[in-house]
Structure 1
Amino acid sequence: MVAIHYALLLSLFAGLAIPLGGLLARFEHISNTVVEARFVKAVTAFGGGALLSAIALVLVPEGAEVLPVGLAVGLLLGGGVCFALVDAALARAGGSGALVLAMMLDFLPEAMALGALLVTEAATAKLLAAMMFLQNLPEGFAAFREIWTRGKLSATQVMLAFLFLAALGPICAGLGLLLLSDQPETLGAIMMFAAGGILYLIFQDVAPEAHETGAYAPALGAVAGFALGMAGNMVIG
């Protein structure tokens, strides 16, 4: 199978975890409301931990390796400022899509990296796709709950949006393979900008949503999510 086909299939595999997580959230039902609330918060925190691991172990290291310090710092800050403005606009519109934005900022640059890696490191690209799948599953679960419980979109509409996001993965992987495999600085800049946006969204929206006074499972969920990302990074490395 040629590299472009691998890129499309691997990124589609990773992306389909997003609607799969949404599907699990749609049919999840725990009769005890207190237990259910804590479970959902723990899954949200797990997704936040996975996002943080993407920043610390993939996006920032890959960007810092190929960019000068000043540009790297500027892009990181620029990503944070840009998505603070987006978040404020969403708040004024009466909705919150923080988890969806963070998931998109995590998934799409990693899909580009996956495509670029297939040229020189096919085995690493396959492991990256597996880790992306495991990260996207709880992120899709938490994002579906965040949107659906607000009642502005039906479950079908949310699932269609998630399928569309999953379909963007192969497009980004194809771009990474065809355009960015020999442009590490451009790919690094995209990753660093995305890292700034994700970092802002985690501390502004995701972490507060996962917190509950007197409950410890959500915070441990964040640790477990980061541990998952760290394990995948160590295996890839």
Structure 2
Amino acid sequence: MVSMLETNGLLQIVLLTLMAGLAMPLGAAIASVERIHPRWLETEVRHSVIAFGGGALLAAVALVLVPEGTSNLPLPAIVACFAAGGITFMGLDMWLSANDTPASQLVAMLSDFVPEAMALGATFSISSEGGVLLAGIIALQNLPEGFNSYRELARATHYRSLKIVGGFALMALLGPAAGAVGYFLLSDAPQVVSGIMLFAAGGILYIIFQDIAPQAKLKKHWAPALGALAGFLLGVVGKVAVSG
């Protein structure tokens, strides 16, 4: 039987991960109405946001996924999980390309969000304050990633804005589901959580250098590179805040 304490903890995890996940459709909604003039400024802002999302993803890999993932596994398992993530995501990228379905930003966003939500659930009983802070950091990462993913899908498909934003809102439900799995099933299996994190880290790192970083490049403009720096700095600030 689930105790009252466990019920309260689960409710907090559901609310926190849902809040973090709803940053994805919020970012998409902003992208759907965002119009900046003149055109050169709109282009620079768009590339800067792409770079910011890439920097935030890189921070998630370097400061959260890899450190947490390597803390509970032996070296052979670390290599296997990380390499498997990169190879799997390469295969997925090739499949998407063969079917003319660009979705690298979306895949990267979900690859970051789901394992972090799972880790939040698994560790919530140890530090609820850290869980609240981590949820806020995930939300800040999801906002530019939702913006970039919307732009990518809107450019590559004929889906209406409302359909894309609504789809992102449904994806936000993956957060509570992953958090609940982490809370009930993985809190006593840190090796499994670590393996999932390393798998996601390998995949995200592949996507950053294969798709996101090339899209952020803009000739004779330097703001996008600062956007990547700002995104990574966000991760550093969040990591320091969570670590106390």
- TM over 0.5, yes or no? yes
Match of 1:122 among 125, 128, 142: 128
* Distance across 2 between alignment mates of 1:93 and 1:153: 17
Deviation per residue, 1:126-181 (Å, 9 max, x gap): 10001001110011011101111223322122112211210110000000000111
* TM-superposed deviation, 1:224: 0.3
* TM-superposed deviation, 1:219: 0.8
Greater mean deviation of Cα atoms: 152-161 or 43-52: 152-161
Root-mean-square deviation (CA), in Å? 0.9
Match of 1:6 among 6, 9, 12: 12
The answer to whether residue 41 in structure 2 is matched with residue 35 in structure 1 is yes
* TM-superposed deviation, 1:102: 0.3
Please report the TM-score for the alignment, with normalisation by the length of structure 2.
0.95
Greater mean deviation of Cα atoms: 16-25 or 28-37: 28-37
* Ranges in structure 1 where 5+ consecutive residues have no aligned partner: none
Residue 66 of structure 1 aligns to a residue whose secondary structure is coil
> Number of residue pairs matched?
237
Aligned to 2:169: 163
* Distance across 2 between alignment mates of 1:151 and 1:191: 31
Matches within 5 A, 1:13-162: 13-162=19-168
* Distance across 2 between alignment mates of 1:70 and 1:191: 15
* Distance across 1 between alignment mates of 2:204 and 2:156: 22
Aligned to 2:192: 186
Deviation per residue, 1:55-78 (Å, 9 max, x gap): 000000001000111111111111
Residue 181 of structure 1 aligns to a residue whose secondary structure is coil
Deviation per residue, 1:57-109 (Å, 9 max, x gap): 00000010001111111111110000000001100111210000000000000
* TM-superposed deviation, 1:47: 0.3
Residue 71 of structure 2 aligns to a residue whose secondary structure is helix
Tell me, yes or no, if the aligned pair for 2:102 and 2:156 is still in contact at 8 Å.
no
* TM-superposed deviation, 1:213: 1.3
Aligned to 1:172: 178
* Distance across 2 between alignment mates of 1:200 and 1:42: 20
* Distance across 2 between alignment mates of 1:121 and 1:99: 31
Q: Percent identity?
A: 44
* Distance across 2 between alignment mates of 1:135 and 1:177: 22
* Distance across 2 between alignment mates of 1:86 and 1:98: 9
Greater mean deviation of Cα atoms: 158-167 or 120-129: 158-167
* Distance across 1 between alignment mates of 2:17 and 2:106: 18
